[in-house]
Structure 1
Amino acid sequence: MSLRRSILLGLIGLAGTAPAAHAQSTAEWQAQQVAAEAKADRIMVEANQQKGLLSQYMTMRQAYAGDDSPAFRMIFGQYIGWYLSFLGDYPLAVQSFSIAEPARPGDNASPLDGGYAARPALDEIPALASNYQIVMLNEAHNVAMTRSLTVALLSRLYAQGFRYFAAETLSQKDAQLQTRGYPIDDSGFYTQEPVYAEMVRTALKLGYKVIAYEATSTITRPDQREAEQARHIYEQVFKEDPHARLVINAGYEHIVKAGVYLGGESMAEHLHRLTDAPILAIDQTAMYPRPSSQNNHPYYTAVMKQLHPDAPIVFVDAKDKPWSLRSAYDANVFFPPEKLERGRPTWLTLWGLRQPHWVSGDGCRGHYACLVEARYSNEGPDAIPADRMLLQQTPMTVSISGVEAYSSTQGVPSGVLYLRPGSYQISFIVGGEKVLHKDTITVPPQP
């Protein structure tokens, strides 16, 4: 079973109910999903034969446009979303695949109703972590906003004594990651997305020992991946350092501390059994803004309407006990509504670590679609960029969920990259990694 297949097992469980508009049985819908998944895998084999992310994505986009069946759009929409995030088109990545977050039986009462106060997540999560050996933060894989806070938290958690950082789908084959100091294409799967790469890069620069814990054996049952991930973490961290303090980034429900997951137990439950270490589980996938506001949890809507936060928040009571939507987690992060500048979300500042830097599309030499990449000058040309954006002169011929990538229909397209202070090499790329132009820029320290 491929890594992509094992990732989809959990996601289909979250989003795979049959469309109400279609009079079909659950069995029929599941059969359609299986067929759609097989087709998606065939398309990805073809796409991966193309050189460069941009060419791969164009192959995928053409295939997406050719099949509007609900099952295929649901399955392949996830693939499209991952690659759009790799290209830096974050709004369209979110539109391509979205999981609604309705109210459910058993949800705890709203934090607005019971003596809870909103606190900045960047301050409160490290305070909560002071009594824990393991901190787990989850993410929605095509919604890079849900990993943005983790990047900013790493320095705060390092100050608390955390020295290990583990990230989902990092490859154990990249034995040079720790010494090299930055991720490359072969470092993993989600590391191809610049914010994820920045998360790993930040951990390395701070001095964390970075752990690749992905399952490597053939998966024969749904929760086998969970058990193997936990075992890899135990063997690389706690077997030799039983008092280690560890930060883990994982997807969705891999971090739930209780309940049945994929017919068995989550990675967090397996890890707790192996270590008996206290775990702080922070959910970042329930309370972020969905493309359609009707798919937001009612509590999210109420909190945003009443508090209007401009940064991620969590809720705690008078005894500093955090609020969570469901008992499987210890706390929920509420992300503010997304704001765009030239089509790019302002959360790409990573909550104060980076700043916008305007870039003209002149380097595209009139060729579009054009991928603009910014790499740290002290890293090699194989490094995953600090940021990417896709420039186009005309709207996309294929839109996803009615939303198009940012483009300008007059003159030369331009946009903003989000970068830390420092020196960068900017590359303008078309087609199969053809570099049309390079610039070197310096981003000054923030005033």
Structure 2
Amino acid sequence: MLARLAVRAGFIAALLVCASAAAQSFDPSALKLLRDMGRAPTTLARYSYLIRKEPSLSPGNQLLALQFMAFSQDELGLYDQAVFDFPLKNSLPNDFKLPASGEWRSADAVDTIAALATQRHIVMVNEAHHDGHTRQLTLELLPRLRALGFTYFAAEALGENDPDLAKRGYPLRKSGTEYLRDPLYGDILREAIRLGFTLVPYDNALAGQARETAQAEALYQKVFAKDPHARLFVHAGYAHIDKAPGRLGKWRPMAMQLQKLTGLVPLCIDQTDFLETDLDASDAYHRLVHAFPSDKPEVLLNRQSGQPWSARPAAYDVDVILPPSLSIEAFGKYKYGFRSNAYESGLPHVLERNEMQRAAWLSLGGKRRPYAIDSSLCRGTIPCVVGAYYPGEPNDAIAADRYAFMGPIETSKLYLRPGSYQLRASDSDGHALSESDIRIAPP
């Protein structure tokens, strides 16, 4: 399933995160889909349910199902599959012109943002919720901003019902919304806690303008009303980081309202206007990376003024362009694990291990190392998910990395920092299939 959908980010941002909030926006058939999906005991069970259900849905509900399928794929470590199956593309401004290499030059995104943040009290970075690659930048910025004196970290996915999170040092499933179940998001919170940030949950179950307003008010009351000189780092979704209406229609975005409440102008960083969504070399993203090649997240700086490039300067300050990473081999080299010439020379088809490729960015610049896994860990139960967990952490802790096997003879890799882990395989109901201890050696 490589559906070629193109939907506006404003629409996707308006879709609600959970079924409890959905009653305000969705029709009865969509609500039933959300309720049935919510009964699934695990992410893998939800994903399997949506795969079965999606073909029989109405077009509108198919779009909703595909969105939640992409969320599930992201949470299960199927990062490329999530992007291919839900290729979200923003509608760019009518007057958009591709920057020319004679006028602009490439620069390291982390270094540039850290330099721009020196005199700011608020920095906001956005993500596409189904694209784990958009979480790498925040993970790399955390130590840089902490060194600049930023002490508060607000994450849209954080919830209010885990008061022991900072003390414990790692997130559980109950620590926030489903986005938090992505191992990369879990890594972000672990790093923020390790660095001594004060964690700030700020999202709500409202919709539309009410949600934007309540987000801004929560950030103001929890941070600046108590500490007027605070320095705040915010990780949000899509156009919540905008300082002007536009991508959310007439709604006044969260960043715009927080600026008014505090009198502080936030530094707003966008990653969603130019994302790799497929292999079409003619789209704006691929033309950008062709003109400004880089193997790291990059920004563009004006060759004369040194100012960063923004496709929407009224809304945000900087566009970050992530390097290409998508590969069709994320779906495997052999469909369903069989050779394409299965009956060549009259021989019965030959089973061969089907390598499911994962993106190179998962190494996080060499901080994590690949560890080979295969579906034999599932002990004959397919689908199953294989996760690596830190020693002593419970089953509902967010994994260091994980991968879902959907076929019986698949191989893949986990990406893990040096250290000890418990490798656990489980089925759709969460029942353990195998467990073992592993150690990742330093480079």
Normalised by the length of structure 1, the TM-score is 0.83
Structure 1 residues 73, 35: CA separation in 2 closer, same or farther (over 3 Å shift)?
farther
For 2:169, the equivalent position in structure 1 comes to: 181
Provide the secondary structure at the position in 1 that maps to 2:153.
strand
Return the offset for 1:122: 2.1
CA-CA distance at 1:339 after TM superposition: 4.9
Equivalent residue runs for 1:16-415 within 5 Å: 38-67=28-57, 69-101=58-90, 103-107=92-96, 109-113=97-101, 115-189=103-177, 190-216=179-205, 219=206, 222-260=208-246, 261-293=248-280, 296-297=283-284, 300-317=285-302, 318-327=304-313, 328-340=315-327, 342-393=356-407, 412-415=409-412
Deviations 1:123-182 (A, max 9, x none): 211111112111100011111111122112111111121111101131112111111111
1:438 counterpart residue number: 435
Conserved 8 A contact 1:102-1:295 = no
- Return the offset for 1:362: 2.5
Q: 282-291 or 35-44: which moved more? A: 35-44
Query: Given the superposition, is the C-alpha separation of residues 232 and 35 from structure 1 closer, same or farther in structure 2, using an over 3 Å criterion?
Result: closer
CA contact (8 A) 1:37 1:75 kept: no
Question: Cα–Cα, structure 1 residues 271 and 114, in superposed 2: closer, same or farther, change >3 Å?
Answer: farther
Q: 1:293 to 1:203 in 2, by over 3 A?
A: same
C-alpha distance in structure 1 between counterparts of 2:418 and 2:47, whole Å? 30
Q: Supply the distance in 2 between the matched residues of 1:155 and 1:37 (Cα, whole angstroms).
A: 44
In the TM superposition, residue 231 of structure 1 has moved relative to its aligned partner by 1.0
Quote the offset at 1:329 in angstroms. 1.0
Q: Give the secondary-structure state (helix, strand or coil) at the position aligned to 2:87.
A: coil
Give how far 1:36 is off.
7.2
Q: Do 1:338 and 1:345's aligned partners in 2 also have CA atoms closer than 8 Å? A: yes
Distance 1:50 1:264 in 2: 34
* Other structure's SS at 2:154 match: strand
The answer to whether the Cα contact below 8 Å between 1:146 and 1:284 also exists between their aligned partners in 2 is yes
CA deviation after TM superposition for structure 1 residue 378, in Å: 4.6
Q: Which runs of 5+ in 2 are unaligned?
A: 1-6, 16-23, 331-355
Distance 1:348 1:124, change over 3 A: same
The gaps in structure 1 that reach 5 residues or longer are 1-7, 17-33, 395-411
Contact 1:106 1:326 in 2 (8 A): no
Q: How many residues align?
A: 398
Whole-Å separation in 1 of the counterparts to 2:191 and 2:373: 24
User: Which of 405, 422, 425 pairs up with 2:419?
Assistant: 422
Percent sequence identity over aligned pairs: 35
TM score, norm. by length of structure 2: 0.84
Contact 2:13 2:238 in 1 (8 A): no
CA RMSD of aligned residues (A): 2.4
Q: 2-side partners of 1:382 and 1:102: how far apart?
A: 38
Instruction: Provide the secondary structure at the position in 2 that maps to 1:285.
Output: coil
SS of residue in 1 equivalent to 2:130 = coil
> How many angstroms apart in 2 are the aligned matches of 1:55 and 1:101?
30
For 1:37 and 1:349, locate their aligned partners in 2 and report how far apart those are by CA, in whole Å: 42
Mean Cα displacement is larger for which, 114-123 or 170-179? 114-123
Q: Please give the secondary structure, in 2, of the residue aligned with 1:223.
A: helix
Q: 1:78 to 1:237 in 2, by over 3 A?
A: same
